[in-house]
Structure 1
Amino acid sequence: MTQSKNISDYSVGCCVPLIKQFEGCRLTTYRCSAGVLTIGYGHTGSDVSEGITISQNDAEKLLIDDLSKFQTELAPLVTVLVTEGQFIALMSFVFNLGIGAFKRSTLRRELNAGNIEAAADEFLKWCNAGGKPVEGLKRRRLAEKELFLS
C-alpha cells in the first residue's frame, strides 16, 4: 500500500521531472500563449522583463522556488492525506493552471470528500486554452490523472 502524507510533508523535487517534461525550458524571456512574460520552466512574475537571459542553473532554481510557493499555497486547500503520485499530479495541475483554478475546482471538492476516482476524472476537464482543446494539455492531464491514480 502506498503511504499517504500531508501536502506539506513532500519534497517538491519529486515534481520536477513531470513539470520539466510538459513546460520545457527557455532561457530567454518570451511571451506565453496568454501573452505573459515568461522565462525558464514557465516562471512568471515581477522579476521577469523583456530581454533577460538566465542560465540553466537559474532556471532550475526558479522552478524549485515556484514549486515551493505553490506547495505552500496548496497545503491548506487539501484536507486529506495524499500519495506521492497525487501530490505530483496536483502540483503539476496548480503549476500549469494556478492556485485559483484549483481552489474553486470540483477536483478539489472531490479529493477532499475522499472521492478519488471522481477527483481523477476532473483532470480531463482542463484541456482547453482559449476555449479550444489543446493536444498538449490533454497529454498533460492524462499523465496527471495516471499519476493521481497510481
Structure 2
Amino acid sequence: MQTNTAGINLIKQSEGLRLSAYQDQVGVWTIGYGHTGPDVAAGLTISADQAEQLLQGDLARFEQGVSALVTVLLNANQFSALVSFSYNLGLGNLQSSTLLKLLNQGDYQGAAGQFPLWDKAGGNVLPGLQKRRLAEQALFQTPVAN
C-alpha cells in the first residue's frame, strides 16, 4: 500500500516545510518535511524539490514498516494514518505500542482510541502533537468509499 493524498497532506501540514536544518523540540536535526538522519546537520539547506524527494524516500520506508508490522486488513485511510504516526514517532514506537497490539487483535476501535495518548515530546504534552494525533485518529476512523 501507499500513503494516500489525505495522509501525505496530514504529514506535510503537521511537519511544515523547512529548507534549512533546525533542531526539533527534542534536539534532533531536521529538514524538509520532518526528515531526520545522519545526512542532516547544522547549516544544511535544500530546495523544495529536494524536500519532496526526501519525503518520498521517507514515506517508502515507513510504508514498508507499517506493512510489515500490521497483520490485519487496513483501508487506505487507516494505513495512511499509521504511516503519519510512524513518520512522526518512529516504527519502533509503533511496534511496541498498545495501538498496534489492539489493531493486530482486530480491535480497530480500541486502536483508534490510542492515537491521542501519543501527544508528548521530552515528557511534555505539546499542542501540535495533540492536534496531529487527533487528525490521525480522525483519518484512521474515516471510511473509504468503494
Q: Secondary structure at the match of 1:19?
A: helix
Which of 14, 26, 50 aligns to 2:42? It is: 50
Unpaired runs of at least 5, structure 1: 1-9
1:62-103 alpha-carbon deviations (Å, 9 max, x no partner): 001001011112211100110111011101100000001000
Match status 1:72 vs 2:102: no
TM-score, length-scaled by structure 1: 0.90
Look up the match of 1:12: 3
Query: Aligned partner of 1:149: which letter?
Result: Q
1:103, 1:83 → 2: CA distance?
Answer: 19
AA at the equivalent of 1:109:
K
What code does the residue aligned with 1:16 have? Answer: I
Note the aligned Cα RMSD (angstroms): 1.0
Local SS of the residue matching 1:38: strand
- 2:55 aligned to which of 36, 54, 63: 63
Q: Match for residue 133 of structure 2?
A: 141
Identity percentage of aligned residues: 49
The total of aligned residue pairs comes to: 141
Structure 2: where are the runs of 5+ without partners? none
The counterpart of 2:113, out of the listed 121, 128, 132, is 121
1:76-91 paired onto structure 2 within 5 Å? 76-91=68-83
**1:12–1:148 CA distance, 2 compared to 1 (3 A):** closer
SS at match of 1:54: coil
Q: TM-score, normalising length from structure 2? A: 0.92
